[in-house]
Amino acid sequence: MQTQRLIFNRRRLLFSALGASLTPLFSTDPAAKPGTLIRRKIPATGEEIPALGMGTWITFNVGGSERLRRRRLAVLRRFLELGGGMIDSSPMYGSSQEVIGWCLKRLENKQGLFSATKVWTPYGTSAESQIREAAALWAVDRFDLMQIHNLVDWEAHLQTLRQAKAEGRIRYIGITTSHGGRHSEMERIMAAQSLDFVQFTYNILDREAEARLLPLARERGLGVIINRPFQGGGLFPLVRDKPLPGWVKEFDCSNWAQFFLKFIISHPSVTCAIPATSRVAHMEENMGALRGRLPEPKIRRRMVRFIEDL
Amino acid sequence: MELPYSLDVYFALMGDYNARWLPVVLSAWVLAALIAALTLRLQRRAAKWISRCLAGYLAASCLWVGVAHQLDMMAELNFMAPYYAAAWIGQGVMLTWFSLSPTGINLGFRSSLARTLSTALILFALVIHPLILLIQGYDWTSLPLAGTAPNPTAILMVGLLLALRTPPRLLFALPLAWAAVAGASAYMLDHAVDYIVVISIVSAVLLALFERHGPARSW
């Protein structure tokens, strides 16, 4: 355990040094080559992860049905084949963690997986057991990221997470919120506490985070995970039967899912967006946003105007 | 607000649940139809016996829904399911008491309106609700049926309770609470048929609780 900790600390030190001295932490590289995966640096260490991950809210909560689990396995396999990294879940998501573990056991190649889950309990003392239970469900030795779900009992949980991180059972720690809730409290925690990641809602319709959370995350050197990138699916009805405007070619966009996702991951403070899907075809559409150019600020403003005018 | 599962997953798991418990599911539906028929066409001599069967059947259904549907099937999908299970089991315990109690519950429609609504709700729970789902395109193997799935069981329950001369008010608490759950689910899952569940239950509860006491027709 001690050796592992030493190796981990050395790796972290190396990443930190690289992160501090090399290119700007949040370069969006709008001119990325078509075949290159878009990756983002985790500010705390400089480690790079793909800018698209996968959420599991609702989509992976399929209970014990083997038929449905096999379909999710196909989605997860395609996600990793296409260069995806972060898989995000929570004890709140019903059977999702168990289904993820079931799928991971059946995948030959799990390279690139960045395991992220949460503690979700109003009792600070039970966070430790949730971490252990999650590790058993996912069948992983340690989590890349452990977050505090919806800031529930965050003060007590943060101590537990820091302890687990110090012991090498967690690599990064973070806090989450969603649906635009509790931004003020999140802001206070971001300003006062030492964290690696924050997760909140941001999309082309819900841009409240642009005002304070995203700039603060950048200022504090926090990785940013974006949930509800499609506003819970609510963005697609807005563009149903509408053709993509011609100017989307400027950022290599070929469908509406990529339009919405590229808007998010082109924000300089965003580390990773985590769309959720239960269909392979949708996963393929989403993951297309991980390649090609990203919209520049001028185009991003045009994207917002376009959607607001609908 | 969203539920942590989708409608597709719910019906897929309902298919597995029905397949796993097929003899129970079919027996519960047939028994429900039998008890409903006896209740609606009840005979003077058999009334006490029928009322005990009615309470006993509803008790068994509630206990089954609580344990098999909510705890065994739904708890892995929905963190609220254990609380719902406790409510269904509580209702089952109360109904067991009424089915065994010496005074028990007495059959007798309080009005022609009560008889009409009772008949309509029982028919809806047993036949129309599954038919609507079939028309909506759900597979017959995954239909939630009265006696083993909560929505049709709740409707059947209020329909049968309307056939009581003086239905204990406490027995309407769970159906009313379930109407709230069904309404929230209807909204969050965009599943319009569940609004009919709400309307059915609420109308029955209102009639049972606030109907003026006229001369009860009893047997």
Residue A16 has pLDDT above 80, yes or no: no
- Partners of residue A95 in chain B, C-beta under 8 Å: 76-77
Query: In this predicted structure, which of A105-119, A187-201, A286-300, B39-53 has the lowest mean pLDDT?
Result: B39-53
Q: Provide the pairing of β-strand A48-50 with A54-55.
A: unpaired
* CA gap B137, B200 in Å, rounded: 22
Confidence at residue A22, expressed as pLDDT on a 0 to 100 scale? 40
Nearest chain B residue (CA) to A179? B1
- Mutation test of the interface with chain B: which of A58, A59, A149, A228, choosing the one with the most B Cβ atoms within 10 A? A58
| Closest CB to A232 among B2, B16, B76 | B2
Nearest chain A residue (CA) to B73? A63
Q: Is B190 on the interface with A (CB under 8 A)?
A: no
Residue A15 has pLDDT above 50, yes or no: no
- Partners of residue A98 in chain B, C-beta under 8 Å: 76
* Nearest-CA distance B170 → chain A (Å): 32
Confidence at residue B50, expressed as pLDDT on a 0 to 100 scale? 85
Residue B196 one-letter amino acid: I
Task: Give chain B's count of helices (H) and strands (E).
Answer: 9, 0
Number of Cβ atoms within 10 Å of the Cβ of B190: 9
Are A217 and A185 contacting, i.e. CB atoms less than 8 angstroms apart? no
Number of Cβ atoms within 10 Å of the Cβ of B24: 15
Nearest chain A residue (CA) to B77? A94
Task: Count A/B contacts: CB-CB distance under 8 Å.
Answer: 46
Read off the pLDDT of each residue in A49-74 and give the average, rounded to a whole number.
Answer: 96
Nearest to A106 by CA among A64, A74, A59, A60: A74
* CA gap A104, A94 in Å, rounded: 17
* Nearest-CA distance A31 → chain B (Å): 38
pLDDT digits (tens, 9 = 90+) for A103-155: 999 999 888 999 999 999 888 788 999 999 999 999 999 999 999 999 999 99
Nearest chain A residue (CA) to B11? A62
Instruction: Please indicate whether, in this complex, the C-beta atoms of B2 and A64 are within 8 angstroms of each other.
Output: no
Instruction: Please indicate whether, in this complex, the C-beta atoms of A68 and B12 are within 8 angstroms of each other.
Output: yes
Nearest to A226 by CA among A201, A261, A193: A201
| Closest CB to A94 among B12, B16, B76 | B76
Instruction: Please indicate whether, in this complex, the C-beta atoms of B76 and A63 are within 8 angstroms of each other.
Output: yes
* Nearest-CA distance B6 → chain A (Å): 6
* CA gap B81, B74 in Å, rounded: 6
Q: Is B139 on the interface with A (CB under 8 A)?
A: no
Instruction: Please indicate whether, in this complex, the C-beta atoms of A58 and B2 are within 8 angstroms of each other.
Output: yes
- Partners of residue A278 in chain B, C-beta under 8 Å: 6
Confidence at residue A281, expressed as pLDDT on a 0 to 100 scale? 97
* CA gap B66, B148 in Å, rounded: 9
Instruction: Please indicate whether, in this complex, the C-beta atoms of B76 and A68 are within 8 angstroms of each other.
Output: no
Nearest chain B residue (CA) to A69? B9
* CA gap B18, A63 in Å, rounded: 15
* CA gap A11, A19 in Å, rounded: 12
Round the average pLDDT of chain B to a whole number and report it. Answer: 91
Confidence at residue A10, expressed as pLDDT on a 0 to 100 scale? 42
Confidence at residue B213, expressed as pLDDT on a 0 to 100 scale? 54
* CA gap A164, A20 in Å, rounded: 25
Query: In this predicted structure, which of A9-23, B14-28, B145-159, B180-194 has the lowest mean pLDDT?
Result: A9-23
Q: Is B116 on the interface with A (CB under 8 A)?
A: no
* CA gap A216, B94 in Å, rounded: 56
pLDDT band of residue B106 (cuts 50, 70, 90) is confident
DSSP assignment, residue B53?
A: H
pLDDT digits (tens, 9 = 90+) for B111-146: 889 999 999 999 999 999 999 999 999 999 999 999
Selected from 1.10.287.620, 2.40.50.100, 3.20.20.100, 3.30.460.80, the CATH number assigned to the domain covering A2-25+34-231+269-291 reads 3.20.20.100
Residue A12 has pLDDT above 70, yes or no: no
In the three-class reduction of DSSP (H, G, I as helix; E, B as strand; rest coil), residue B218 is classed as coil
Confidence at residue B19, expressed as pLDDT on a 0 to 100 scale? 97
* CA gap B191, B182 in Å, rounded: 10
Read off the pLDDT of each residue in A195-207 and give the average, rounded to a whole number.
Answer: 97
Higher model confidence: residue A7 or residue A215? A215
Confidence at residue A8, expressed as pLDDT on a 0 to 100 scale? 40
Which residues on adjacent β-strands are paired with residue B194? none
Portion of chain B with pLDDT greater than 90, in percent: 75
Instruction: Please indicate whether, in this complex, the C-beta atoms of A94 and B16 are within 8 angstroms of each other.
Output: no
State whether the Cα torsion B184-B190-B191-B196 is positive or negative. positive
* CA gap A47, A40 in Å, rounded: 8
Higher model confidence: residue B196 or residue A20? B196
Nearest chain A residue (CA) to B188? A232
Nearest to B13 by CA among A99, A233, A206: A99
Domain ranges of chain A: 2-25+34-231+269-291
Round the average pLDDT of chain A to a whole number and report it. Answer: 89
Residue A105 one-letter amino acid: K
Residue A159: partners with Cβ closer than 8 Å, 6 or more residues away: A124
Nearest to B167 by CA among B28, B27, B39: B39
Which residues on adjacent β-strands are paired with residue A40? A49
* CA gap B23, B21 in Å, rounded: 6
What DSSP string runs through A121-145?
-S-GGGHHHHHHHHHHHHT-SSEEE
Domain ranges of chain B: 7-210
Q: Is B97 on the interface with A (CB under 8 A)?
A: no
Q: Is B83 on the interface with A (CB under 8 A)?
A: no
Query: In this predicted structure, which of A15-19, A92-96, A129-133, B6-10 has the lowest mean pLDDT?
Result: A15-19
Nearest to A147 by CA among A167, A129, A133, A127: A127
Portion of chain A with pLDDT greater than 70, in percent: 89
Q: Is B82 on the interface with A (CB under 8 A)?
A: no
Which residues on adjacent β-strands are paired with residue A224? A198
Confidence at residue A18, expressed as pLDDT on a 0 to 100 scale? 41
Residue B98: partners with Cβ closer than 8 Å, 6 or more residues away: B55, B59, B104, B105, B168, B171
Instruction: Please indicate whether, in this complex, the C-beta atoms of B13 and A65 are within 8 angstroms of each other.
Output: yes
Residue B41 has pLDDT above 90, yes or no: no
pLDDT band of residue B157 (cuts 50, 70, 90) is very high
* Nearest-CA distance A276 → chain B (Å): 13
Given the cut 0.90, state whether the ipTM is greater than it.
Answer: no
pLDDT digits (tens, 9 = 90+) for B48-93: 788 888 999 999 999 999 999 999 999 999 999 999 999 999 999 9
pLDDT digits (tens, 9 = 90+) for A168-184: 999 999 999 988 778 89
Nearest to A290 by CA among A310, A266, A309: A266
Q: φ, ψ for residue A290 (rounded to 5)?
A: -85, 5
Higher model confidence: residue A81 or residue B1? A81
Q: How far is CA B9 from the centre of its chain?
A: 22
